[in-house]
A and B are shown apart, each in its own frame.
Chain A
Amino acid sequence: MSGLGAFLAMGGYAPFVWPAYGAALMVLIVLLAWTLGGYRKRQRELEALQRKGERRR
């Protein structure tokens, strides 16, 4: 087998190694996206509230 083919085959353990790395990548990406999304949403909410407060004064 060529270098890349052998690497992807993981000595026959490909069906276990790659899903494990895939799960890790997915968990990290989902956590990051969820955390950043929540942060930006709250930031926008606060800015909108502060603008409203200034208009009232």
Chain B
Amino acid sequence: MHRFANPARFMRLSATLLPWLAAAAAVLLALGLYLALIVAPADYQQGEAVRIMYVHVPSAWMASAVYALMALASAVALIWRHPLADIAAQSAAPLGAAFTLLCLVTGSLWGEPMWGTWWVWDARLTSVLVLFFLYLGYIALAHAFDEPGRGARAGAILALVGIVNLPIIKFSVDWWNTLHQPASVFRLGGPTIDASMLWPLLVMALGFTLFFATLLLIRMRTLLIAAKIRALRLSSLEDESAVIAAPRPAMQ
């Protein structure tokens, strides 16, 4: 594990990995779009509106999965002070927030024709809205301190406390009455969704995942470079103050 903790090794490894990840993400998203819009059948109840599922469900999965990753990285950062963990959590946060927003917007666009309303304050929708605010809170806290290490620690604690929201999101459709339909893919007894719709959904979800992984690595590289810039600026400042503070040669 600590072999990959070395930032220099991470920079090398991510540089080799990135072109492949990016290419795979592009191919899968293009294929997913084709399958979702052209190949997949219309639903017998929902008609063509069911196609919203192929962007709504992957973004919903990403919203929760990215949060889980962020909380895990935060735990690693707090417990082992792993040098890349804070950077991973901070890189993931805005990406997760964007996926959560996309999930809410596409869900609203799906809700209006199917339920007759853009929004209801039920358990599933409200808990996902809370997830969005947890992301925003994490981002705000991580930037709220002059010293980056303190912000990262405060953010990590919020991320860990907020993880209680994830099972609430997952099981909200079973625990409470809701307009939202229950799970049809990740459930005991296997998926209830037809294979002709499941495959496009899985391709799209994998495309979203690889897209996220690509951006995560680029953002982690960005934050590592930013840390290097800070260190260089600090050391050059010290050089300058050393010149000023150095005792002048005595006039003799």
> Is the beta-carbon distance between B95 and A31 smaller than 8 angstroms?
yes
> Is the beta-carbon distance between B229 and A46 smaller than 8 angstroms?
yes
Chain A residues with a Cβ closer than 8 Å to the other chain, count: 30
Report Cα–Cα, A45/B37, bound state, in Å: 43
* Cβ 8 A contact of B229, one of A38, A39, A49: A49
Q: State the Cβ distance, A26 to closest chain B Cβ, in Å.
A: 9
- A30 cross-chain contacts in B, Cβ below 8 A: 98
Tell me the residues in window 1-55 of chain A with beta carbons closer than 8 Å to chain B beta carbons.
7, 10-13, 16-17, 19-21, 23-24, 27-28, 30-32, 35-36, 38-39, 42-43, 45-46, 49-50, 52-53
> Is the beta-carbon distance between A46 and B225 smaller than 8 angstroms?
yes
Report Cα–Cα, A46/B233, bound state, in Å: 10
The interface residues of chain A, by DSSP majority, are classed as helix
Whether A28 contacts B49 in the complex (CB less than 8 A), given A38-B222, A39-B222, comes out as: no
* Cβ 8 A contact of A17, one of B48, B105, B215, B228: B48
Listed in ascending order, the chain A residues whose CB lies under 8 Å from chain B are: 7, 10-13, 16-17, 19-21, 23-24, 27-28, 30-32, 35-36, 38-39, 42-43, 45-46, 49-50, 52-53, 56
